[in-house]
Amino acid sequence: MAGEPLLKVENLKKYFPVRRGFLSMLLSKKELYVKAVDGISFSVNEGEIFCLAGESGCGKTTTARLILRLIPPTDGKIFYKGVDITSLKKREIRKVRQEMQMIFQDPYQSLNPRSRVFDIINEPLEINRKDLDFKEKQNLVFKALEDVRLPPEEYANKYPHELSGGERQRVAIARALVLNPRLIVADEPVSMLDASIRVGVLNLLLDLRSKYNLTLLYITHDLAQVRYIGNHLAIMYLGKIVEMGSVDDIMEKPMHPYTQALLSNVPIPDPTIKRRKIMIKGEIPDPVNLPPGCRFHPRCPYSQRICSEKEPPLIEVDKNHYVACHFPLR
């Protein structure tokens, strides 16, 4: 269905209860929650790379796990290909999951140290494609290895500890590709790799996207990666989306004070560019004790009274450019 977004998320929420000591439970009945994801909505079109960016603790990783139904949402809906998958039963989820795969951040921990590369990539086939015989499965594994530019003869029999970080990440990508998914959720896939290897993996993702018309939900804290690989971007802060739009629009005309500050503080590998960095006071607050109104207001240089009273909704301020701020900067 053309025009229908591949993935749509509506008012998604995930609250984690906080375990409290016995005494504080006696003294106060109020339940404390970490509102990791607090009502976010966005849609991802087929074939695009949608970036979810923000600092640690903003809820982006939790969002990834919600979409793949690794954890159940507290509220909200997730639509895949127009179908509501939020409360699907286990058996139906398994079918959907074959079309959605994930790449994790840590190349050293995301592969079973006791399995060979072949077995690691073969596992999704073993579980989901029992209709295939061994030869067919083997061919698919080899094809996946070739797709990620690891020659199968050399790599299939190796163990993870014999591979470098970049090679392991490629194996993880091959594992994600082998079931022919439509959507791949990538959680900081290159953040733990060396600089010279990162670009290789990023280019690989771009090439695979073109070759297979994949859709990527790319999660990172590094805005430079977003600029390089992303089409659309949503900036998260403390569980909410504060700005959303195309990567170019946001990077050239950021409208939320937080986005502005972030962009001005990202270091640039060019000593000839001198900029004035926007210094934001304070640190990211405790997610259990969220400030009232706009979550960013205690640190915002432009905050006014209304910001501490009323949460700003995410509204379209410019064509396809959404901001959640009472006084968006133009």
Partner 1 sequence: MSLLEIDSLKVYYSTRKGWVKAVDGVSFNVEKGEIVGLAGESGCGKSTMAFTIMRLLPPEGRIISGKILFDGENLVEKSEEEMRKIRWRKISMIFQSAMNALNPVLSIERQMVDAIRAHLPMTREEAVEKAKRLFEMVGLNPDRIKEYPHEFSGGMRQRVMIAMALAADPQLVIADEPTTGLDVITQSKILRLMRDLQKKLNLSIMLITHDLAVIAETCDRVAIMYAGKIVEYSDVVTLFTCPRHPYAYMLISAFPSIKSKGRRLKEIKGSPPGLINPPPGCRFNPRCPYAIEKCRVEEPPYIKIGKGHFVACHLAEKLDFSIGGSSHGW
Partner 2 sequence: MRSSIYKWSDKLQVYRRKLREFADIYKENKLGVAGLIILAFFLFMAFAAPLIAPHHPGELWLGPSLHPPMEGFPLGTDELGRDIFSLLVYGTHVSLVVGLFGAFLSVIIGSLVGLIAGYYGGVIDTILMRVTDLFLILPGLPLMIVLAALLGPSIWNIIFVIAIVSWPSTARVVRSQVLELKERPFIEASKVANSSDFRIIFYHIAPNVAPLVFATAVLGIAGAILSEAGLSFLGLGDPSHISWGMMLHYANEYGALVIGAWWYLLPPGICIILLVLSFVFIGYALDELLNPRLRRR
Residues in contact with partner 2 by the rule CB under 8 A:
68, 70, 94, 97-98, 100-102, 104-106, 108-114, 116, 118, 123-124, 127-128, 134-135, 138-139, 142, 152-153, 156-157, 159, 161, 172, 175, 179
Angle (nearest 5°) at CA 296 between 42 and 79: 15
CB 160 within 8 A of CB 126: no
User: Looking at 12-20, 161-169, 178-186, 316-324, which segment touches partner 1 (CB under 8 A)?
Assistant: 161-169
Contact of residue 131 among partner 2, partner 1, none (CB under 5-8 Å per partner type): none
3-class secondary-structure state, position 216: strand
Nearest CB to partner 1, comparing residues 18 and 83: 18
Q: What is the DSSP string of 292-311?
A: SSSTTGGG-TT--GGGGTSP
88, interface contact from partner 1, partner 2, none, CB < 5-8 Å by kind: none
Q: Which does 248 bind (CB under 5 to 8 A by kind): partner 2, partner 1, none?
A: partner 1
Residue type, 135: K
The answer for 137, left when phi > 0, alpha when psi is -120 to 50, beta otherwise, is alpha
Q: Which of 18, 25, 27, 224 binds partner 1 (CB under 8 A)?
A: 224
Interacting partner of 283 out of partner 1, partner 2, none (Cβ under 5 to 8 A depending on kind): partner 1
Nearer Cβ to partner 2, position 110 or 260? 110
Nearer to partner 2, 15 or 159 (CB): 159
Query: Alpha helices of 148-256 — where are they, by DSSP H?
Result: 152-155, 165-177, 195-212, 223-229, 247-252
Rounded Cα–Cα distance for residues 139 and 246 (Å): 38
- E strand or H helix at 258: helix 257-265
Instruction: List the single partner that 41 binds among partner 1, partner 2, none, CB under 5 to 8 Å by kind.
Output: none
Give the whole-angstrom CA distance, residue 288 versus residue 81. Answer: 34
Q: CA–CA separation, 288 vs 18, rounded Å?
A: 8
Site string for partner 1, 53-82 (x = CB under 8 A): --xx--------------------------
* Least CB distance to partner 1 at residue 127 (A): 32
Q: Which is nearer to partner 1, 69 or 198 (CB)?
A: 198
